[in-house]
Structure 1
Amino acid sequence: MSSTLPGGIHDRPVAVIGSGTLGRRIALMFATRGGEVRIYDTSLAAGKEAVTYVEQNIDRVAATVEGGRPGRAIVTDDLSHALSGAWLAVEAVPERLDLKKQIFRRLDELAEPDAILASNSSSYASRQFIDHVRRPERVLNMHFYMPPVQNAVDLMSDGRTDPDVISFLRKELPGYGVHPFVALQESTGFIFNRVWAAIKREALRVVAEGVSTPQDVDAMWKINMGTPAGPFRMMDQVGLDVVLDIENHYAEENPGLPEGPRVLLEKYVAAGRLGAKTGQGFYDDYRENTGRQAGS
């Protein structure tokens, strides 16, 4: 299998599809080489918030990247414009398989012939949404965690991805301050997230069974592991609706997983307590610290 790899990438934009918690952080990292990142969102208001996030953080983050310099982010609700000239498109929309299939059909139709089409999906293998993609050799998972603090990235083939595309990304991504690791075979949850899923699921189970509270679990975690945040604070940052979507997907693949963690998450999501993005989740201290949390 062979395909033309994208050329002149430092003079070409990157498109990020979705302006949510991770979309804006992905955009921030690709703006660290002085180029343009185009954030596509059907909600221009949400997209403008993402641009503001990039503008507030780009000077600091670009200074941590070797050879980095601040670029810029723009928002558009025109997918054709977002993709025009882009060497890379990163999908960062909610974890709904039907939505991802629609997005990748359009990316395949509208992107440049040499563009790499990547999904930030944390629970779906890219193999599952290439039904209507004509160039599956250019598609793969590129899963980010929580940049600019957690900068590891999983790369995983859709089963037909050109190996040269993966090699190309392994070479180029560190230049944007992110560090790729390749899953050697298809794996729901990739590498680190498989381990993390088990940790957060058991933490949720401990609380669902009334053994402890989110705050005490986190306090013990911080003492024993020496980290600034525990599992519940980290789930709040990701968004409890996203965490629930991921848990539901794992449960579809493995019906034997305990139900308690999902029931607990459903309670919070039904109450509109989605975490930092709504001001309340397992913690209630986000409203007075919105700016600090967003840039943490």
Structure 2
Amino acid sequence: MTFTLPTGIHDRPVAVIGAGTLGRRIALMFATRGGLVRVYDKSQQAGDAARSYVEEHVAEVAAGIEGGTPGRVAITDDMAEALRDAWLVVEAVPERLDLKKEIFGRLDQEAGPDTILASNSSSYATGEFIERVSRPERVLNMHFYMPPQQVAIDLMSDGHTDPGILDLLKRELPGFGVFPFVAHRESTGFIFNRVWAAIKREALAVVAEGVSTPEDVDAMWRINMGLAAGPFRMMDQVGLDVVLDIENHYARERPYLPEGPRQLLRKYVEAGHLGVKSGQGFYAYDG
């Protein structure tokens, strides 16, 4: 089936499902063109934090985008309100397949007929959770990294995605300060994340085997690569529970992967040390 592409998108809102670390960052980028972004989350605390984050940073980020204008963010715990007249929905909920199937079943029923349904999933192809979707031609992966610092994103078809959607997004997304790259076949981890997964997995193995420490690995990375943060600091930013979920998914697909990195992650997660969001991960964080 073909999909009727949304029109008038510059006058219509974007909806983000999930107000967590990446959800609020995605909302920030879509609020840089002067329009409205609605963020759906059942947690008032998460919603308030997302609003504060966008409002704090949107003027600065919009100023760095050609034609950028600070927009607005609205927080709601009503899915129907979040989706009203949206031309695009980006799902950014935890990496649980059952949850994503449930969410996309609802989005398929409640979103407008010309709304594009995208998933920010970092490890699941959308083809894995569209069994309750009646119109898979409007679904795709749109995977963000950590905007506004990292603004390359992956686009990947669910196997049925209307090619016109990919063309539309390649044309329009740079106007929001993000730059899409299309995976030409289904790939767990998409493009860049497959490379990054190998790096973080080997960094974890070096520590799990007692060869080095997170601090020393990161220090060597900063010196040799000229970057501000090393793999362990970056994993703390993402959330060690999220990193573990992703590694478990890779391991189910590739049973030959070493167990040591996942054992190390489980030790931290089971202790409640999830990274920046819990105040303790491989490093301790104030506030």
Show CA shifts across 1:181-240 (max 9, x none).
Answer: 000000000000000000000000000000000000000000001100000000000000
Task: Tell me how far apart the structure 2 counterparts of residues 18 and 76 of structure 1 sit (CA, whole Å).
Answer: 10
CA RMSD of aligned residues (A): 0.6
| Structure 2 spans left out of the alignment, 5+ residues | none
Using the TM superposition, give the Cα deviation of residue 45 of structure 1 relative to its aligned residue in structure 2, in angstroms.
1.7
1:65-214 matches, cutoff 5 A: 65-214=65-214
The yes-or-no answer on 1:261 pairing with 2:253 is no
Task: Tell me how far apart the structure 2 counterparts of residues 73 and 123 of structure 1 sit (CA, whole Å).
Answer: 27
Task: Tell me how far apart the structure 1 counterparts of residues 163 and 269 of structure 2 sit (CA, whole Å).
Answer: 40
Using the TM superposition, give the Cα deviation of residue 3 of structure 1 relative to its aligned residue in structure 2, in angstroms.
1.8
- Partner SS, residue 206 of structure 2: helix
Using the TM superposition, give the Cα deviation of residue 2 of structure 1 relative to its aligned residue in structure 2, in angstroms.
2.5
Task: Tell me how far apart the structure 2 counterparts of residues 191 and 229 of structure 1 sit (CA, whole Å).
Answer: 21
1:246 maps to which residue? 246
TM-score normalised according to structure 1 size: 0.96
Task: Tell me how far apart the structure 2 counterparts of residues 54 and 257 of structure 1 sit (CA, whole Å).
Answer: 38
- Partner SS, residue 75 of structure 1: strand
- Partner SS, residue 212 of structure 1: coil
1:34 maps to which residue? 34
| Structure 1 spans left out of the alignment, 5+ residues | 291-296
Show CA shifts across 1:168-191 (max 9, x none).
Answer: 000000000000000000000000
Q: Percent identity?
A: 74
2:63 maps to which residue? 63
- Partner SS, residue 153 of structure 2: strand
Task: Tell me how far apart the structure 2 counterparts of residues 45 and 35 of structure 1 sit (CA, whole Å).
Answer: 24
Task: Tell me how far apart the structure 1 counterparts of residues 205 and 212 of structure 2 sit (CA, whole Å).
Answer: 10
- Partner SS, residue 66 of structure 1: coil
Task: Tell me how far apart the structure 1 counterparts of residues 175 and 28 of structure 2 sit (CA, whole Å).
Answer: 13
The yes-or-no answer on 1:51 pairing with 2:51 is yes
Show CA shifts across 1:213-271 (max 9, x none).
Answer: 00000000000011000000000000000000000000000111000000000000011
What amino acid does structure 2 have at the position aligned with 1:232? F
- Partner SS, residue 216 of structure 2: helix
1:276 maps to which residue? 276
**Equivalent residues, number:** 287
